[in-house]
Structure 1
């Protein structure tokens, strides 16, 4: 089973408009709502592929009730921790590209963090890969995900985060970190992704996979360094592309694929997620077209 932890869940709302015009009233063409947060998106992609997964996260307030109801309706295996802090909302306005508005998420009490750690610990005996993904709520310790990495005790771990949270996970000996270029730059203080990946490995991360958007992905691993990319960008909503990549990496770890094979899957799943209307979804018809188009080459 792949266990995902979303420390800062959200009710994701997507608006589709013909074009975005600041200072003007917009008529919304379509509205989509679903339980969000990066870990939930990872679990959705895995569940749709028939991969055993369980999604964990703290929820509270009216939006927390909506998030819980959506997970039940979707059939996604989950266990939610009731907390006093209200669940946040994120809004994506999608025209030619997505414009995001992300609320911060209310702070969790120390007792709630302890309860979340206990919940994660209770599922580790049946876990093949632990994924900790997304932002942290206000006032959360920067070593929150690092603590889950240490808690895992040899269970492979994947962390998708940025800045100090990313550095702490690397120092804790995480199996894989998967920042995008901006998150990596915020952590290492410069915008050279390969150099930054090597620096995170020097800190203690076993493998560093960096998403570069339309330019593909680079990875620094114990087995070598690679670049993986599609021949051309996929049009659509990139909001959940990184989550699909994380799902593919976790799946590759669970099934024992080589690193080039994992990167090929990650780029293909990511591209197919861009073609899907909502984060946490993959256009499987597009995926069938992309799987043989990914190039993986040594750096």
Structure 2
């Protein structure tokens, strides 16, 4: 079972508009509402790939109740914990293949709600083959909240967050961290993604897999470094591509790195044609997977 942790779950509202113009009114051509937050999106992709999953995290209020209902309607098993404040909402406007998001910060989490979650997490993590910890932290939680959970986990962990929680999480030695190129630059101050990844490796990550958007990804570990490119230009909604990448990394934790990375890029690319984060297009995956090649980078470059 793969456990996904979403501490700042959300009710995601996605609007499709032909053209987005700042300061103008728009009429959406489509509107969708579903449970979200990065860990829930990861679980959706894992479920579509045929893997057993469990969703955990914090939810509260009427928004939290709607999240629970939608998670179950999607066929996902959940062990979500109640908190006092109402869960957040996000709004994403997709136009011409570009997604514009407005994310609420989420409710403050009380000490008692966090203690209840941590106590329950121990039992859930003990049953998991891999634990995925994704997304932002809600207010009031310390920057090392993910680090606390990683230290309590004996199975492989994948951490997908940014900023101070990412830096704090490195001290707990996660198996894999999965920032995007902008998040890498933010925490290291370096423009080169390979050099930035090696900084995170030196600070405790077992491996660093960094999304480069339409340019694929790079990965750096103690055993090697690789670059994987997307074999064709894709159009659609890129919002869920990073979460699909994380799902493939979790599903392929027993594969060697080149195969694992090729799966991650193909699965990530298969999310782009889909209107909603958490979905993948099987035809896109089947078309692209055979065309993906993994390039090994010079292990001593930038040292």
TM-score (norm: length of structure 1): 0.97
Is residue 136 of structure 1 aligned with residue 137 of structure 2?
Answer: yes
* CA positional deviation for 1:22: 1.2
Any idea what SS the aligned residue of 1:174 has?
coil
Partner of 2:228: 228
| Cα distance in 2 between the residues matched to 1:216 and 1:94 | 21
Any idea what SS the aligned residue of 1:297 has?
strand
Partner of 1:263: 261
Partner of 1:95: 95
Partner of 2:191: 191
Partner of 1:119: 120
Any idea what SS the aligned residue of 1:12 has?
strand
| Cα distance in 2 between the residues matched to 1:176 and 1:39 | 15
Any idea what SS the aligned residue of 1:55 has?
strand
| Cα distance in 2 between the residues matched to 1:8 and 1:249 | 21
Is residue 20 of structure 1 aligned with residue 24 of structure 2?
Answer: no
| Cα distance in 2 between the residues matched to 1:164 and 1:188 | 11
Is residue 215 of structure 1 aligned with residue 177 of structure 2?
Answer: no
TM-score (norm: length of structure 2): 0.96
| Cα distance in 2 between the residues matched to 1:110 and 1:189 | 33
Partner of 1:248: 248
Superposed structure 1 runs of 4+ greater than 3 Å apart: none
State the Cα RMSD in Å.
0.9
Partner of 2:301: none
| Cα distance in 1 between the residues matched to 2:185 and 2:146 | 19
* CA positional deviation for 1:122: 1.0
Is residue 55 of structure 1 aligned with residue 64 of structure 2?
Answer: no
Contact conserved, 2:126 with 2:153, CA < 8 A, in 1? no
Q: Unmatched 5+ residue regions in structure 2?
A: 298-303
Partner of 2:271: 273
| Cα distance in 1 between the residues matched to 2:151 and 2:126 | 14
Partner of 1:109: 110
| Cα distance in 1 between the residues matched to 2:12 and 2:27 | 19
Contact conserved, 1:37 with 1:134, CA < 8 A, in 2? yes
Provide, for residues 253-286 of structure 1, a one-character-per-residue CA deviation record: whole Å limited to 9, x for no partner.
1xx1000111001100000001111100001111
Is residue 82 of structure 1 aligned with residue 82 of structure 2?
Answer: yes
| Cα distance in 1 between the residues matched to 2:64 and 2:266 | 32
Provide, for residues 40-66 of structure 1, a one-character-per-residue CA deviation record: whole Å limited to 9, x for no partner.
000110011110110101111111111
Any idea what SS the aligned residue of 2:90 has?
strand
Partner of 2:160: 160
Any idea what SS the aligned residue of 2:218 has?
strand
Contact conserved, 2:231 with 2:288, CA < 8 A, in 1? no
Provide, for residues 72-117 of structure 1, a one-character-per-residue CA deviation record: whole Å limited to 9, x for no partner.
2111111111111110011110111111111111110011111111
Any idea what SS the aligned residue of 1:240 has?
helix
* CA positional deviation for 1:138: 1.5
Contact conserved, 2:158 with 2:176, CA < 8 A, in 1? yes
